[in-house]
């Protein structure tokens, strides 16, 4: 099957902490952050509505406050997120402005989606931001919410946002090339799955909760959960390696990179049921 994303009008891109930081220090990779801003700005110039779901607030907070070990307690995580989110958003604003784009911050909690009024308000806000040409930068509101772990390092959150805004495509940028038949870190015989037509039990069984890092928290299991939400909502989804952010424009040039999960729209799908069943 030849890929063709020429009809995509609205895209959600999720980037994880591992893709924003140097692997040996866990500190921010400013070159990658600027390249991300450039790639997303170019997508805006192509005429797409672009939404970024960005992890990294806690990692930035650790850097700013000199916390070397991964935090264990919830209050410490929330304090680090408070410091880090403000700094991270300032960096995004700076880099996007260099490419004549404007970013807007959207912080969400589980209750944003579960409450009918809050969910509709969030949808209205996103629509207004898109109409103004703004790039929403979304994160879980880790400072006041206790659901960050259940969101799965924003993989699930990005799928929820994709469903909420009616995106045509969700791109998960990770530290792995895509979905493999087994864990490629432990099994050299594991093979990349280029396309998934249907999320059956065999495919879901390929997920693992291993992350291989002390920076990110989401494994393949959370990415497959995101695929369930995104595809049932009518969006295609791609898992691709964020080590080289040129992968974004290569996707829109229809190169066969990563794993593509094809949309499988379910008219009976209800996002609130999915959250209550899978996040608790």
The domain spans of the chain are: 10-278
Q: Phi-psi region for residue 45, left (φ > 0), alpha (ψ -120 to 50) or beta?
A: alpha
Listed residue (104, 101, 121) closest to 112, CA to CA = 121
Contact 31, 189 (CB under 8 A): no
Residue 214 has pLDDT above 50, yes or no: no
- pTM over 0.85, yes/no: yes
Confidence of residue 68 (pLDDT cuts 50, 70, 90): confident
User: Which pLDDT score, from 0 to 100, does residue 209 have?
Assistant: 46
Output the DSSP codes for 74-110: HHHHHHHHHHHHHHHHHHHHHHHHHTT--EEEEEE-H
Partners of 170 in beta bridges: 12, 237
The CATH code of the domain at 10-278 is 3.40.1160.10
Residue 130 has pLDDT above 50, yes or no: yes
| Residues 4-28 pLDDT 10s | 999 999 999 999 888 898 888 888 9
């Amino acid at each position: 099957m030849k890929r063709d994303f020429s009809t995509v009008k609205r895209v959600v891109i999720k980037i994880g902490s591992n893709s924003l930081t140097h692997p040996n220090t866990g500190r921010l990779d400013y070159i990658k952050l600027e390249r991300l801003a450039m790639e997303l700005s170019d997508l805006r110039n192509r005429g797409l509505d672009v939404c970024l779901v960005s992890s990294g607030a806690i990692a930035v907070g650790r850097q700013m406050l000199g916390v070397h070990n991964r935090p264990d307690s919830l209050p410490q995580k929330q304090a680090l997120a408070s410091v880090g989110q403000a700094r991270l958003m300032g960096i995004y604003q700076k880099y996007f402005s260099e490419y004549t784009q404007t970013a807007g911050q959207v912080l969400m909690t589980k209750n944003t989606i579960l409450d009918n009024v809050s969910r509709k308000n969030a949808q209205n806000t996103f629509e207004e931001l898109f109409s103004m040409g703004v790039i929403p930068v979304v994160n879980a509101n880790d400072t006041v919410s206790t659901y960050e772990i259940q969101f799965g390092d924003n993989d699930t959150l990005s799928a929820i946002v994709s469903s909420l805004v009616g995106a045509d495509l969700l791109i998960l940028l990770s530290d792995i090339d895509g979905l493999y038949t087994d864990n490629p870190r432990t099994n050299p015989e594991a093979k990349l799955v280029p396309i998934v037509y249907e999320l059956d039990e065999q495919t879901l069984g390929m997920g693992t909760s291993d992350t291989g890092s002390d920076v990110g928290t989401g494994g393949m299991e959370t990415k497959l959960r995101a695929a369930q939400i995104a595809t049932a909502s009518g969006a295609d989804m791609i898992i691709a390696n964020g080590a080289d952010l040129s992968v974004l424009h290569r996707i829109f040039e229809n190169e066969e990179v990563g794993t593509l999960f094809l949309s499988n729209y379910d008219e009976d799908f209800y996002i609130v049921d999915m959250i209550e069943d899978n996040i608790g």
